[in-house]
């Protein structure tokens, strides 16, 4: 997986990405490690979001690849279940990242005041 851009981001309403502090680049962010922390190593949600990211990164036709992947995984994984897990995982990762960035942003501004 690729590292995110060099600026901390917040996903606001409408799914727009906004730089937390455009004048201060953040360190490289390891989204995969963060996802493991938020979702739990080996969780179904993590497996869904990482599988989806790999399919998309390889330029694969996502729906066909996901349907094929689900059929290999067995009864617990239908495409609808896969997408439900992927969406829930993305929402949890986004919420956790936003909370961490907001906490960091507020602490920096308290120190500056």
Cβ of 43: how many Cβ atoms within 10 Å? 15
In a domain, 1, yes or no: no
CB within 8 A of 50, min separation 6: which ones?
1, 32, 35
In a domain, 3, yes or no: no
In a domain, 83, yes or no: yes
Cβ of 94: how many Cβ atoms within 10 Å? 15
pLDDT digits (tens, 9 = 90+) for 16-58: 555 556 565 555 678 888 999 999 999 999 999 999 888 888 7
- The domain in which residue 73 lies consists of 9-19+29-112
In a domain, 54, yes or no: yes
In a domain, 65, yes or no: yes
**Domain total of the chain:** 1
Residue 62 above 60 pLDDT? yes
User: What does the pLDDT read at residue 79?
Assistant: 93
In a domain, 24, yes or no: no
CB 8 within 8 A of CB 101: yes
pLDDT digits (tens, 9 = 90+) for 74-92: 888 999 999 999 999 999 9
Which pTM value belongs to this model?
0.68
């Amino acid at each position: 997986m690729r590292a995110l851009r060099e600026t901390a981001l917040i996903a606001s309403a409408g799914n727009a990405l906004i730089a937390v502090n455009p004048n201060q680049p953040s360190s490289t962010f390891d989204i995969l490690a963060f996802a493991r922390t938020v979702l739990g190593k080996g969780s179904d949600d993590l497996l869904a979001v990482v599988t989806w990211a790999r399919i998309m990164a390889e330029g694969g036709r996502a729906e066909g690849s996901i349907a094929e992947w689900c059929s290999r995984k067995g009864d617990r994984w239908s495409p609808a279940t896969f997408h439900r897990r992927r969406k829930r995982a993305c929402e949890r990762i986004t919420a956790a990242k936003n909370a961490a960035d907001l906490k960091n942003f507020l602490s920096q501004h308290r120190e500056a005041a």
